[in-house]
Structure 1
Amino acid sequence: MASEVVIFDIVGCMGHFRKYYTNSSSLSYSVPTRTNLIGLVAGVMGYQRDSYYSELNSEKLQLALQKLTKTRKIIQSLNYMKITTKKHFTEPTEHTQIPFEIIMGEGDSLKYRVYLSHCDPTFLKEFEERIKNKKYFFPPYLGAAPFSCKLEYVNREKVEKVRVNDSVYISTVIPLDKVKHKGLDFKKLNFEYALVKEKMPRDFEGERVIKEVNSYLFDENCNPIPIVLDDSYYQVRGTNILYM
């Protein structure tokens, strides 16, 4: 496990993080999945489509995600056209309307913080320089190409590995396989929390086949969650994080 992380913020107006089990209605998570994030990282670094699943798997690339803004969801209908000839681009003959769920921030923007580490220091240094200088191979977006976003460099920080037996406040999305049975500390919760549990993909195999799915917990209102862990957590500048 690398001892440093590059911290950056993802900022945009809208996003769509498609649920892997959704059908024709395109439903969205409130936060990017780990597979969304590795796609964004791959775009920054210049990997071609479907070429990066091994290099950016969870054993080599560690990602923690912190939700910084409250979110809301709206539904729009999209016209999907059936294109079989060039003429159909200008004179479509068939189309289908699909409900499409969009994530928006409570204010003017949607914002997430990412803590990124990699087992290869050379990779980490190059990624940091690209984020700092905004030299991306491909433009970043929030889950779907229409939702472009900005990547704002925060810092590079040391990581401290910590293990305790009591409950601890975790600020990032929590993988539930790291949590003790009945580990959620309900005594420290209040009405400001809106906890959400989601099943999200963690890694891909070739041709975008899902390799692993995990359950995650986060608070829609961006509060750190008091929880008893079955494993170590990591501390960065006083913030407690867990990798997805």
Structure 2
Amino acid sequence: MSQQSLDGWTDDEDDDQPDRCLSFTVRGPWGHFRRIEGNIVKQTYRIIPRTTAAGLLAAVLGIERDGYYDLFGPDNSAVAIEPVREIRTVNMPMNTLSTAAGNLQSLNGRGKISIKLPDPTTLRQQHNYEVLVDPAYRIDIALADDQWYSELRKTLASGESHYVPSLGLSEHLADIEYHGEFDIEDGPQTGTIEVDSAVPNAVDDVVLEAGTRCQIEESPAFMKADSGGRTTTRFTNYAYNPDAESLKVTNTSAASVDGRTVVFV
């Protein structure tokens, strides 16, 4: 990460870890973070992807769809994600309308303002969605941009949001509980470390123990805008405990936030 003397960011040239972060929990009755692999069943990531967490915060701040990628880029932000409820899923059939260009019809086509919506008279398509049940994640976020960091702190503290927050699909509405601003302190750096958050890029470093479950998934981490909309530029492998308990890992640089041990990416 680049060194910047900004609010919530390090000004120590020998340290690439931010000084402070904002911490909140996002939860809801349902969630769906669509996996990019094609499948008959529309599967979901278990851990909220970093790109989705960035989009959620952009919605809180009122930033347009493709206007926040640099703000949450690898040199300008740090994010730690911790599941705080057991991760459970169910398969749920849903009736949907096609949003392909040929299946859209214009509303108020002769007016100055016209929008296109799916034709409600066409037949619905039934798809099976894998849906998260009662998902909840604690997210720690540091931003190098002083202005946006301060605005995010103020907005979270007031319990406000410019756009309605959701967990993936727009119909899966979410609640945000703000915990406050915390110092980011050095965590254990050597030996076996017990980490509360999902652990990025630690597939080969998890210490497996009897009775402790561990799962691995790869999800989008960073994006950039392009002529076609947006493109994923980097993925991250996460190791996590689906029971929302800690994992023991080695060869990992951890941090301490609010008495918890987390790993930022």
Give the TM-score, by structure 2 length: 0.82
Q: Which amino acid aligns with 1:167?
A: T
1:28-74 deviations in Å (ceiling 9; x for gaps): 01221001100001101111111211121122121111101012111
CA distance in 2, matches of 1:84, 1:122: 40
Q: Which amino acid aligns with 1:53?
A: Y
1:210 matches 2:232: yes
1:222 matches 2:244: yes
Distance 1:85 1:132, change over 3 A: same
Alignment of 1:45-84 (within 5 A): 45-82=61-98, 83-84=103-104
Give the paired residue count. Answer: 232
Provide the aligned C-alpha RMSD in A.
1.9
CA distance in 2, matches of 1:164, 1:134: 35
Per the TM alignment, residue 86 of structure 1 is displaced from its structure 2 partner at its CA by: 5.5
Structure 2: tracts of 5 or more residues without a match: 1-16, 108-117
Helix, strand or coil for the counterpart of 1:49? Answer: coil
Structure 1: tracts of 5 or more residues without a match: none
Q: Which amino acid aligns with 1:184?
A: V
Helix, strand or coil for the counterpart of 1:52? Answer: coil
Q: Which amino acid aligns with 1:91?
A: T
2:206 to 169, 173, 184: 184
Per the TM alignment, residue 182 of structure 1 is displaced from its structure 2 partner at its CA by: 4.3
Alignment of 1:155-194 (within 5 A): 155-162=180-187, 164-176=189-201, 179=202, 182-186=204-208, 189-191=209-211, 193-194=212-213
Per the TM alignment, residue 133 of structure 1 is displaced from its structure 2 partner at its CA by: 0.7
CA distance in 2, matches of 1:131, 1:120: 16
Is the strand fraction higher in 1 or 2?
1
Contact 2:90 2:131 in 1 (8 A): yes
1:85 to 90, 94, 105: 105
1:102-129 deviations in Å (ceiling 9; x for gaps): 1003xxxx32111111112332221011
1:124 matches 2:124: no
Per the TM alignment, residue 151 of structure 1 is displaced from its structure 2 partner at its CA by: 0.7
- Aligned counterpart, 2:35: 19
Which structure has the greater CA radius of gyration?
2
CA distance in 2, matches of 1:120, 1:49: 18
1:180-239 deviations in Å (ceiling 9; x for gaps): x842223xx231x22110011111121221111121100000111111024x22111221
CA distance in 1, matches of 2:18, 2:29: 32
CA distance in 2, matches of 1:45, 1:143: 17
Give the TM-score, by structure 1 length: 0.88
Q: Percent identity?
A: 18
Q: Which amino acid aligns with 1:227?
A: V
Per the TM alignment, residue 26 of structure 1 is displaced from its structure 2 partner at its CA by: 1.2
CA distance in 2, matches of 1:7, 1:235: 12
CA distance in 2, matches of 1:237, 1:208: 35
Alignment of 1:190-201 (within 5 A): 190-191=210-211, 193-201=212-220
1:114 matches 2:139: yes
Q: Which amino acid aligns with 2:121?
A: E
1:133 to 150, 154, 158: 158
Extract structure 1 runs of 4+ deviating beyond 4 A. none
- Aligned counterpart, 1:99: 128
